[in-house]
Amino acid sequence: MRSYAGAMTGSLLFATVCCFPVPLAYVVACVAWTEGEDWAWIPLLAALVGSGLVLILASSLTRRGFPRITRADRVEDGGFSYGEETFVMWAPQSPKGHPQARLVRADVLEASLARYDPEGGTGVTSYPGDYTPAEFTPLVALRLRVYGAEEAGAEVPAGSFEITGSWRVPSVCLSAVTAGRLAVLVAPAGPSGPAGPPPHGKVTPLWPSSTLLAGTRTCRVAGLDGGLSEATRRPGRLLRQMRISRSVGGVELTGDTIDLRRLDARTAARYTAVAERDRSFPEEPAPVTEPGEESRWIVDRLPGERAAFGSVSRRWSRRGGVLVRGRFLKMRSTHSFQDHGPVLDTVLRVHPADGTPPFEAARRLTVPMTYLAVLHRTREVVLYADPAGSSYVVDWPRTNLLAGTTAAAVITPEGRELSLAGRPDVIWSLMNLLASHGLSAPAPVLDLRKRRMSPVAGAAMELTRVGQDAAGPS
């Protein structure tokens, strides 16, 4: 388990090497003082000032690279109120597309990572303005079924077609590929050639809209009377709303809510008609992920911390350190990137282990792409708490395991392997059991045959069996 003190020490050494004239100034001051020179105070003053700059630089590097949450990060009351299921995402804008293009749904039939090879190294690379570089945007090969009708049904409707191509997918929108539902623009077909008329025009995925269609971002509509209606994971209604927004040049979102009281009367009336249609003919929520997810599973090829039951410091465990759960409420893209994920402005809701009310914290974090690709499934995050409860650190290996980026399993003392896929509560209980005993398991498979696991083998098997009984027969 990496500690804040260790990260600070590494940053301090790095900053000292980068600012090598500072220790050199101390040497010059010492020599001058020994020889009785009157000007010895000049290099000494320069060294003291330089030391302060080194400490500031080291502190800044540590905060940027170490995902630690303190009281200074807490969000005070008075801002946007996040509901229990609210998730707000602000992503880079999609291309406008042809002005006469049709906005329709497309299902991802197959996906594979074609290219992602940035040369940013381990540090953070930042760009000015709204520039998003291609080298930090994964190129994904997709086979799509594009629907000509408004919704997709059990049978392929008339006017639909399949298309294969490669598109740059913003990292925060990768979950739309895994979920399998995209919002795309289909441009009008071009002029006929010798082989006959083309079947369709250019297809342009709208990535932020696709995360909405996939259910990653939540969406509600506040009516003219202030009443809220839910639109999350209702693709038909969302497409109709997107078409209205496109026709009027965009509609403002307040968090994850479209407030009709803020719109002009004509646009509000169109949205109201969509809501009334949904009340008259309720649309069943779409599945969290469309069938055939295994053909779209690009997570294993994406960079990011590997999923694991996690490492633990025995000192942290003996002093009473515990694991706690949190949940992402908001993510906003920035223009800073690391090789294994973008740097995002986030808001988290943390649930302290002592039973005190949860609190919200705003923190800039590097979020691994492996986690972003399954963001439609869960927004939960695992943190390990300081024994004093004064700080919390995001634990990405445990978070990824709980999110299901890698299948978790337990090997029994008899050598039988039990899958924990789809059982996050059991995984969470096992993580806590290991942490309370100061045991590390830096892999997604917990092997109870190992001698060091003998103190928890019985309890771990009991937790696994209870989880199996609750899940029913497989």
What pLDDT, in 10s, does the model give residues 156-194?
A: 566 789 999 999 999 999 999 999 999 999 988 766 556
For residue 45, the tally of other CB atoms under 10 A from its CB is 12
Who has greater pLDDT, 155 or 214?
214
In the numeric block, the tokens 């920035």 are attached to: 334
In the numeric block, the tokens 């299901």 are attached to: 404
Query: Phi and psi (nearest 5°) for 98?
Result: -65, 140
For residue 226, the tally of other CB atoms under 10 A from its CB is 9
What pLDDT, in 10s, does the model give residues 184-241?
A: 999 887 665 565 555 678 899 999 999 999 999 999 999 999 899 999 999 999 999 9
User: How is residue 444 written in tokens?
Assistant: 């997604």
In the numeric block, the tokens 């002029």 are attached to: 191
Is residue 79 scored above 70 in pLDDT? no
Give the contacts of 131 (CB within 8 A, at least 6 positions apart): 335
Mean pLDDT of the region 265-282: 94
User: How is residue 362 written in tokens?
Assistant: 């705003």
What pLDDT, in 10s, does the model give residues 93-104?
A: 777 777 788 999
pTM value is 0.87
Bridge partner residues of 81 (DSSP): none
Return the closest-CA partner of residue 254 out of 26, 15, 36, 80: 80
What pLDDT, in 10s, does the model give residues 248-261?
A: 988 888 889 999 99
Q: What percent of the chain shows pLDDT beyond 70?
A: 91
What pLDDT, in 10s, does the model give residues 220-230?
A: 999 999 899 99
Query: Phi and psi (nearest 5°) for 48?
Result: -65, -45
For residue 129, the tally of other CB atoms under 10 A from its CB is 6
Bridge partner residues of 89 (DSSP): 331
Q: Which of 16-30, 127-141, 262-276, 312-326 has the highest mean pLDDT?
A: 262-276
What pLDDT, in 10s, does the model give residues 305-337?
A: 999 999 998 888 888 889 999 999 999 998 889
Contact 460, 309 (CB under 8 A): no
Per-residue pLDDT at 44: 86
Give the contacts of 429 (CB within 8 A, at least 6 positions apart): 463, 467
| DSSP strand pairing (257-259 vs 220-222) | parallel
Per-residue pLDDT at 185: 93
Contact 326, 335 (CB under 8 A): no
User: What is the DSSP secondary-structure string of 220-244?
Assistant: EEE-TTS-EEE-TT-HHHHHHHHHH
Mean pLDDT of the region 371-389: 92
Tell me, what DSSP letter sits at residue 261? G
Return the closest-CA partner of residue 311 out of 241, 398, 372: 398
Rounded CA gap, 432 and 429, in Å?
A: 5
User: How is residue 353 written in tokens?
Assistant: 């282990």
Mean pLDDT of the region 76-90: 79
Rounded CA gap, 14 and 6, in Å?
A: 12
CA dihedral in degrees (271, 277, 278, 282; nearest 10)?
Answer: 180
User: How is residue 277 written in tokens?
Assistant: 């249609």
